[in-house]
Amino acid sequence: METQPEPTLVEFVLYNRWANQQLLAICMNLDESLLTAGIPGAYGSIRETFGHLLRAEAGFLKRIHGTFPQPAFQWEEGPSLAQMATYAAQVGEAFMDTLQRVPPTQNVHEEENGLTFDYQARQLFMSVVYHGIAHRTDITTFLNGRGVALPELDVWGYLSAYPERFEVKKGGW
């Protein structure tokens, strides 16, 4: 079923995909000691956090469709950040496809341990963005504390990257 997704929801999902790719690209150039260091108060190391983030995003898709894109690697083998970036692109594309086919108000039904849980798909669309922001913030806070220069990865950085998407008109203040 082809739907006309709400434009702001589309931008949030596009933003999430862009921010993941930007941060993964930055982290691919970091020393291995930074990638494997624990981040106090966060999920784990940068590598562990990205793995968690991508598995969760794929899991959100599985809740909607019953399936999700499979990575070209085994998580247990410790994929590289380049492999994770490729997988992040696949998952991001799958989310965009899902936005085209699944109305935000479509029911998602889950069963576990004899319990059932029903809610609208938009909860998962919101979750992918919120979850991404939370974990990218953990990573950027950690890196800023170690003097790693980072570009803006917030929605203003996204606006700067894609001014045509927002019909930016430059002028004097």
Task: Read off the pTM.
Answer: 0.92
Contact 69, 90 (CB under 8 A): yes
Work out the mean pLDDT of the chain and round it to a whole number: 94
Tell me the per-residue pLDDT of 52-102, one tens digit each, with 9 for 90 and over.
999 999 999 999 999 999 999 999 999 999 999 999 999 999 999 999 999
Contact 60, 67 (CB under 8 A): no
Q: Where are the domains of the chain?
A: 7-166
Tell me the per-residue pLDDT of 39-50, one tens digit each, with 9 for 90 and over.
999 999 999 999
Instruction: Sort 57 into a burial class: Cβ within 10 Å, 0-12 / 13-18 / 19+.
Output: buried
50, β-bridge pairs: none
User: Identity (one letter) of the amino acid at 167?
Assistant: E
Given 1.20.120.450, 1.10.1740.10, 3.30.2230.10, 2.60.40.10, which CATH number is that of 7-166? 1.20.120.450
Contact 26, 85 (CB under 8 A): no
Give the confidence band of 5 by pLDDT, cuts at 50, 70, 90. confident
